[in-house]
Each structure stands twice: as structure tokens, then as C-alpha cells.
Amino acid sequence: MAQEEEFRVLSVRYEKRSFADQEIIGSINRTFRGKLMLEPSGDDLRIYLREIDLEEFERYVESAVREFNYGRDNIFYSVLEKIRSVRSYGIRAGTRIYAGYDRERKVVNRKEKARRRHIHYYAEGSSFSRKSNELPPEYMDRIVCGDSEEVLRNFPDNSVDLVFTSPPYNFGLEYSDTQDDVDWNEYFDKLFRVLSECIRVLKYGGRIVIDIQPLFSDYIPAHHIVSNFFMKKKMIWRNEILWEKNNYNCKYTAWGSWNSPSSPYMKYTWEFLEVFSKGDIRKPSENRASDLTGEEFKRWVYARWSIAPERNMDQFGHPAMFPEELAMRVIRLFSFRGDVVLDPFNGAGTTTKVAKMYGRHYVGIDISAKYCEIAERRIREIPELGQEEGN
């Protein structure tokens, strides 16, 4: 019997057998030794698959079945179709690889070595409390107009489950009631005071997700600066998601240099989502339900999300909105139904709208009365559960 950990194991139904079948199985096993092995098992034929040149294997099967005067309806064509139906990990010199692709990358005694290294060593010694508190009713499911730094001081410690936000970028955009071109020291000082409050009000095991983009023309790696701030605060870096906006219509320019290594200017079609946890990488469910499907989970844990940017920003008078799809993935991947979602830079209210749509409590804070009114209107326009729009 083959060692299953060295092969990918498939099977096909195999009820009708013949002596000729055994001859062909033996021939295949000898010819493709170490790459493919067939083994009858009960009413199945097990396929132990490591790597195969599909064209070569197809030619061999066709030659073998012709020799024994088989028709198209035979077990070996079933084996061929089964192999075709599964994805390989890659192709090397015409050979498709199905197993053993990560053999060289395996680390012996991985967990013990991780223990000796100390995972998220920079977060050791935190004094975060595990005790959760209730968000006061006056803030639950509310849009609050005001300065986030001041408003958040009224929140109890450990009272929200997820923070998802995109702070003003300081790029010089035209926000309502917000100056977006201040001195960088002033910008980060204010941002970090707000984020410090977010850390304080976040529950133990809760997550903060920041959508932020570097200002490449000013050479300000804002995503690294923000991540460094969180690490100094002993938050645990979970991951970095690339939001691929597929914005390939940006024009070529001669900034810095053209057709020369003097000073090439790099172009980016994505933004960064920095994800941090407080105290622990596991978030207690508190008996709340997940609304993720298995297929969504498998797709979304790949940390490059291809999502078109928001196309209706003019409708809301906001220059830098993220799309509802982005908020939906973050909220459903990093929180449970019934959790409290906070956006301290709520803008036109995409976070709070999506949180409401997917059964979360929400609180959105923004300094602009205009954006707060828009956010409230968007929430009012959400159809009631069980009703369809227009009814």
C-alpha cells in the first residue's frame, strides 16, 4: 500500500472487474512507478497520485485499452477523467504536481521551534483586561456626529468587537469639514490618539482593520507607520490584505525619471488593510453565530481581494469611499452576528450600513454633519428583514 501522505488519494467506483483490468493496472503501476499507483479497494479503485504528464498517461491508457479491445466505457478512462477533474499545484517540465509540493518547506518540530522563538514576541507582557463591558444604549446602533477622540472617551473599556475604518489619507482630498493636507506629524499625532481610544474600547480578542494607503509621491509609508504604532501598543499583527482595485487606467508619467533608473516612480493598483488583534488571535464567539459559508471562507482567507472601487462617490459627495463588498468581507470574516462594529471615521457610512445589513450592531462617528446625515439616510433605506425593496 502506498504511503498516503506522499500521494494525493482519489477514487472511482470499480464494481465490474476482469483479468484484463489487473493486467493493465499492473502495467500502469510499473510504468508510472513513484508517480501514480492504482489499487483496488472494496468497490472502488484508489488512485495514488503524486505527479503525472497527462498527455503521456492518456496515450498509455489509449494504447492499453486498444490492446484488450476495450470500448470507451471502461475503468481506465474513468481514472483519466478523475485526474483531469482535480487541480494540480503546478506544472514542472510538462508534469503536473499533485502532492509533495511543500516537502522541502516543512519544518521539523515546527510548534516547538515557534515556542522557542516566541510568536508575536512584541505583544508579550500586555495588560489588556479580558472583561467585556456593554456599550451604553445611547451609542448602540447610532451615528454620532463629533470628534472621534472626544466621543470615544465616553465609551467603556472593552465594549466593541470590531473596528473597521479608513481614516482620511492626508492626500489633499476635498472632504466635508476635514482638512486633508496638514503637517504629517500633526496628522499622525491625531490619528494615533483616536486609534489609542479604539484599542481601549476593543474587547479582548477583538480585531482592528485599517484600510490605509501610502502617499507614494511624498514617500510616506503610512501602512508601515500605522502598523508600527499598533505593535508598540502590544497589539498582535494578524495579516495584511491587499485590496486589488484593478485600477489600470492610471497614466504613465515622466515623474522622477523616464526610461531611466535615475528615479523610477512605481505605480500601485491596490490598497492595504492592516489587521490587528487585541490580546489573543482567537476571538470568543460569546455564543454568537457566524454567517460565513465554507466557500466564502476559503476564498477570503487568500489575502488578495480583487474588488472594484466604489463608483458612486459623487452621489454621496465623498472623495474616498470604499465599496460595500470590502466592508462586507471584513465584517463577516472578522466578527460574529450580534457583535458591535465601530467606525471612528465613518464618512458616508458604508461600514455602518453593511454592519446593519448583516446583523451586527454598529456605531459610526464622524466630524461632518453632512456625512452623518448621509450615513443615517443609508441605514434608513435598508429594507426591513423579510421585505423586498420597493414593497
pLDDT in tens, 1-13: 555 557 889 999 9
Q: What per-residue confidence (pLDDT) applies to 117?
A: 82
Separation of alpha carbons 100 and 7, rounded Å:
7
Torsion, CA 307, CA 309, CA 312, CA 317, rounded to 10: 140
pLDDT digits 0-9 by tens, 311-338:
776 676 665 678 899 999 999 999 999 9
pLDDT digits 0-9 by tens, 163-186:
999 998 876 555 556 666 788 899
Q: What's the mean pLDDT when you consider all of the chain?
A: 86
pLDDT digits 0-9 by tens, 216-226:
778 889 999 99
Q: What per-residue confidence (pLDDT) applies to 179?
A: 61
Lowest mean pLDDT among 57-66, 189-198, 304-313: 304-313
Q: What is the pTM of this model?
A: 0.70
Domains in the chain, ordered, with CATH? Answer: 4-105 (no CATH), 134-380 (3.40.50.150)
Cell numbers representing residue 364 in the block: 459610526
Q: What per-residue confidence (pLDDT) applies to 389?
A: 39
Q: How confident is the model at residue 308 (pLDDT cuts 50, 70, 90)?
A: confident
Q: What per-residue confidence (pLDDT) applies to 304?
A: 93
Separation of alpha carbons 46 and 210, rounded Å:
48
